Structure formats: structure tokens, C-alpha cells
Structure 1
């Protein structure tokens, strides 16, 4: 499995193509360097370098790419487990359609959710600068006549799935990219962006708010939320302790759909989230009641990936409820 990370390796931070890459789990600082790698099995990763990595993406026998940005308190092996589960479900549905690429940022492994939460929130913000470099590298590579001549362009469709605090990573990355590298706003880069159990304030996608750039960079932005998501309740308690009193996007969906851009859609998952991920009800976007069998949330995500439309039966619809 190909992956990108800004976690420090035990080796030098200098990129060396073909070397072993071992995560330094005791160092949870956000590196300004990014590493383009391949995961083979537990404890066995290889660094590829950005150009070989992007060429591998281009040559892969998949029609689309899905960048997976994980949530807080997830160490690399847990991220790989979740990403590979999602890959298997995609391959069950349609082989050669979706290639899953995890984006791994430095979560903490301390004990205690409050300590983890605030350390991870800082790491999410600090990771924005490194991952903005990834976007800039991709844009430069895609427009380079040597790597992508007019006779052989890269035609892969790019999608993003951000889970939990991964939504903060995505939001801050686009903000940093827009501020430091772009002149006229972010380009329309993603076909679909899925915001699952998003641990950001529920006004973040409103016009004029920090997350509006997610809408500018995406054809479709789909928010999946559940009011009884216990992990987000802990997040809310942590924020209240620090005098931040706003509901989370992953709890309630957008605060006011009329204030969001027209390409934002909201999907309530209250009826299935705890059945799919008991008892937290937080990671409900992969398997359903039985591990290895797709749930209805995954089915909706995959159908959107295939068609590029969230509600193809009704072009004006913007909300729905998932029920078994």
C-alpha cells in the first residue's frame, strides 16, 4: 500500500529512494518534511521518493485515487488496518476502481484522551505546511511535460476521505496552501470530498469560514454525521474545558445548510453508526454489522465515487438519512 507521511522516521530525514522507512513512534512532532513510501507488512516500509511515487499512482490499474486522512490517536499500524479494510471493500464492489492512499500525520500515543486530543490538535495544525507541499508537488508534477506529456497525461480522478480530526488536517492544509503558494484561490482538485465524523466546528463550511476552501477545491463535499458519536462527545468535552463552545460538524452536520456553498451535502447516520462501530459509533464508514461486509455508509460513499453525484436521482436534493 502506498502512503504519504510527515511523521519522523528513525532514519535520517533526508530522502533516500529504496531505503527502509521505520516510524519513530516516540517522536510525535510534525515534520516539515514529507515522505512518499510503500507499506509491505507490519514493520516493513520502503521510501520511494515523490517522483517514483507519483509515477506509481499514474501507472496503477485503478481509475480513481482516494486520499484517506485518519483521525486523532491513531498510530500508523491502526491507520494501515483501516485503509486496507476500505481498500478490500472497494475491490469487492468493483476491482480497478479505487486506490486508497493513507496520509499519515503524527498522532500522540500518551494515555488519556484529553492529553491526546490537544496534542493531536496541535499536530494536525502543524502538519498543514508539510501537506500543502504535497499538493504543490503534485500540481508541478502533473503539469510537467517530462512526466505528463500531452500525449500521456495523468487522468486519475482525485478524491479525499477525511475522518474525525483528519478534517482539521484537510482544512488547515488547504488554508496554508492558499496563503503561501497560490495567487487566486485553490484549484478544483478533488472530485469528491467525504467529511466523516468531522471533528471541527459545525460552521466551518459556511461561506466566509475557514473550511470554505474545501468546497472550492471539490466538486462535491459530503458530510456524514451522527448525534450519538461518543468519540465526538469526548471531543466536545475537551473543547468546553478549554472554553470552545461549538457543536462538531460530525455531530450535527452543517450548522445552517443555507449558509454553505451549494456543493455541500449532509447525510445523517444516527440509525447505523453504533451498530457498525460499537460502542463509540465513530468509525462507521467502512464495514457494516459484519466486518468485511460493506455497510450502508460505505455503499453511499462508493456510489458517489462511481457516479460523481451524491443524489443522482434528484439534482436539487442536499440532505438524506441512512436507514437499514
Structure 2
């Protein structure tokens, strides 16, 4: 499995091709460096460098790429487990369609949700500069490829799935990229961007808010939310305790759909989320028996077709329900 991270490794932070890579789990500080790596079936990892990772993606038999940005209180093994499960579901749905690439940012491993939550929120913000560099690396690699004598364009489509506080990482990364490297708006890089159980303010995706660049960078932005998401209730308590009062996007969906760009869609998952996860928070993968969940099926249909509602292009919302 290929992955990208700004977590510190053990030993030197100096990148070297094919060196063994191990996470320093006691260091939760975001690194300014970005490491492009590969994880093998036996759990060992090595650093392969940015150009090699991008070339591997281009050469891959898979038709599309899905960047998976995890939520808070996830250590690397948790992220790999979730990404591997999602990969297996995609392969089961249609082989060689979607290649999952985790983007791993440093979460806290302390006990206690309040400490973890605020440490992770700071880490999410601080990760923006390093991951914006990764986007810049991609643009530079693409330009370099275009000038090679044997140039062949990369036809793979790129999608993003941000879960929980991973949405904050995505939002701030695009802000940093635009501010420091672009200045005139972000390019449309992503076919679909899925904001699942998003732990950001519910007005974030309005046209005049910080999340507007997510819409600019994407063909489609799909917001999945559930009112009984217990993890986000704890998030809301943490924010109120620290005098930040705002409903979360993953609880209510966008505050006002009339204020969002036309490529933003919302999907109410309140009827199904708790069937996949006791907290009703990680409801985008499989059910308890390893079968693809209804939310996963909707995500995969969007990736496969490139359209959120193929039968009605003017539709912008839906409710996912079990059929009794």
C-alpha cells in the first residue's frame, strides 16, 4: 500500500530512497517534511520518494485514485486497517477501479477525548503546510512529465475522502496551498471529494467561508452527515467547553444549501449510521459482517460514474435508508 505522511519517522528526517521507515509514535508534532512511502503485506515500510510514488500511481492498473484523510485519535495502524478495508470493498465492487492511498497526519495517543481532541485539532492545522507542499510536488511532477520525450498523459482521476477531523486537514491544506503557492485560486484536481462525518463548522462549505476552496478544487463535493453521530456530539461538547459554539458539518450538513456552490451535495445518513458503528461515526465502510454498507455503495457509485445523482442532475440532496 502506498501512503503519504507528515508524521516523524524514527531516526533521521532526511529522506533517502528505499530506506526502512518506522513511525515515531511518541512524537506527535507535525513534520514540515512529507514522506512518500510504501507498506508491504508483512507490515514493513520503506520510503520511496515523491516522484516514485507518483510514477507508481500512474503505472498502476487501477483506473482511479482515492486519497483517504483519516480523523482524530487514529494511529498509523488504525489508518492502515481502515484503508485496507476500504480497498477490499472497492475491489469487491469492481476490481482495478479504485486504489486507496492513505494520507497520515499525526494524532495524539494520550488518553482522554478532550486532550486528544484539542491536540489533534492543532496538529490538523499545522499539517496544512506540509500537505500543501505535497500538492505542489504533484504539480511539479506533472509539469516535468509533460516535457519528457516519451510523455504520455496520466489519465487517472483523483478523488478524496476526508473523515471526521480529516476534513479540517483538507480545508486548511487548500487554504495554505492557495495562500503560499498559488494566490489566484486552486485548480480543479479532484473528481469527487467526500466529506464524511466532517468535524468542521457547518457553514464551512458556504461560498464565503474557508471551505470554499474544497468546491473550487473538486467537480463534486458530497457531504455525508448524521444527527446521532456520538463522536461529533463529544466534539461539540469539546468546542463549547473551549468557547467555540458551532454545529458540526457532519451533524447537520451545510447550514444553508442556498449559500453553497452548486457542486455541493448533501446525504443524510441518520437512518443507517449506527448500524455500522456503535458511535455512528465511521459509517462509510462495511457492516458488521464485512459487507459493503449503503453509504459505501453511494460513495463508490459517485466514484465510478462521476455523478452524484446520475438520473437527476438538478438534485442536490438525498436520504440513505434501509429498505425493509
TM-score using structure 1 length: 0.97
SS of the residue corresponding to residue 236 of structure 1 reads helix
Q: Which digits, 9 at most, give the CA deviation of each residue in 1:61-100, with x for residues without a partner? A: 0000000000000000000000000000000011110000
Structure 1 contact 289–295 (Cα < 8 Å) conserved: no
Structure 1 contact 142–148 (Cα < 8 Å) conserved: no
Structure 1 distance, partners of 2:150, 2:256, is 43
Q: Which digits, 9 at most, give the CA deviation of each residue in 1:108-157, with x for residues without a partner? A: 00000000000000000000000000000001101214676674111110
Q: Residues 43, 96 of structure 1: CA spacing in aligned structure 2 closer, same or farther, 3 A cutoff? A: closer
User: 1:42: Cα distance to partner?
Assistant: 6.0
Match of 1:303 in 2: 301
In structure 2, stretches of 5+ residues that fail to align are none
Structure 2 distance, partners of 1:214, 1:260, is 11
SS of the residue corresponding to residue 169 of structure 1 reads helix
Deviates more, 1:150-159 or 1:174-183: 150-159
Q: Residues 299, 148 of structure 1: CA spacing in aligned structure 2 closer, same or farther, 3 A cutoff? A: farther
| 2:283 aligned with 1:281 | no
Q: Would you identify which runs of 4 or more consecutive aligned residues in structure 1 move more than 3 Å?
A: 145-151
Match of 2:291 in 1: 293
In structure 1, stretches of 5+ residues that fail to align are none
Q: Number of matched residues?
A: 322
| 2:222 aligned with 1:228 | no
Structure 2 distance, partners of 1:170, 1:283, is 18
Structure 1 distance, partners of 2:28, 2:128, is 15
After superposition, residues 1-324 of structure 1 pair within 5 angstroms as: 1-41=1-41, 43-145=43-145, 151-277=151-277, 279-290=278-289, 292-324=290-322
Q: Residues 18, 305 of structure 1: CA spacing in aligned structure 2 closer, same or farther, 3 A cutoff? A: same
User: 1:188: Cα distance to partner?
Assistant: 0.5
Structure 1 distance, partners of 2:247, 2:315, is 24
CA RMSD between the two structures: 1.1
Structure 2 distance, partners of 1:205, 1:135, is 21
Structure 2 distance, partners of 1:99, 1:282, is 23
TM-score using structure 2 length: 0.97
Q: Which digits, 9 at most, give the CA deviation of each residue in 1:36-65, with x for residues without a partner? A: 000114651110011111111100100000
SS of the residue corresponding to residue 143 of structure 1 reads helix
Structure 2 distance, partners of 1:316, 1:103, is 33
